[in-house]
Structure 1
Amino acid sequence: MSPPVARPGWSRWLVPPAALSVHLAIGQAYAWSVFKPPLESALHLNGTESALPFQFAIVMLGLSAAFGGTLVERRGPRWAMTVALVCFSSGFLISALGAWTGQFWLIVLGYGVVGGIGLGVGYISPVSTLIKWFPDRPGMATGIAIMGFGGGALIASPWSAQMLESFGADRTGIALAFVVHGLSYAVFMSLGVLLVRVPRTETPVAGAPSTVSGAQVSARSAVRTPQFWCLWLVLCTNVTAGIGILEKAAPMITDFFAGSTTPVSASAAAGFVALLSAANMAGRIGWSSTSDLIGRKNVYRVYLGVGALMYLLIALFGDGSKPLFVLCALVILSFYGGGFATVPAYLKDLFGTYQVGAIHGRLLTAWSTAGVLGPLIVNWIADRQEAAGRHGSSLYGLSFAIMIGLLVVGFAANEFIRPVHPRHNVPAPRKDADVARQQPESA
Structure 2
Amino acid sequence: MNVRRSAAALAAATVVLGAAVPAVAATASPTPSTARPAGLYGTGDPTYDGVWRQSLALLAQHTLGVAPADEAVTWLAGQQCANGSFAAFRADTAKPCDANLTVDTNSTAAAVQALAALGGHRAETQKAVDWLKSVQNADGGWGYFPGGAGDANSTSVVAGALVAAGQRPAEVRKAGKSPYDALRRLSIPCGRPGGGAFAYQPDKKGGLAANADATAAGVLGALGKGFVTTAGKAPQGDRACAGSSASLTPEQLARNGAAHLAGAVAEDGYLKSVLPGASDQPDYGNTADAVVALAALGWTEQAKKPLAWLERNAAGWAKQSGPAAYAQLVFAAHAMGADPHAFGGTDLVAQLNATGPAPRAAARAGDATASADPGKAGDSKKADSDDSGPSYSLWLVIGVFLVVGVGIGFLISGRGRKRRP
Say whether the fold is shared (TM-score over 0.5). no
Could you tell me the TM-score, scaled by structure 2's length?
0.28
Question: Which is helix-richer, 1 or 2?
Answer: 1
Larger radius of gyration: 1
Question: RCO greater where, 1 or 2, for CA within 8 Å and sep 6 or more?
Answer: 2
Could you tell me the TM-score, scaled by structure 1's length?
0.27
Question: Which is strand-richer, 1 or 2?
Answer: 2
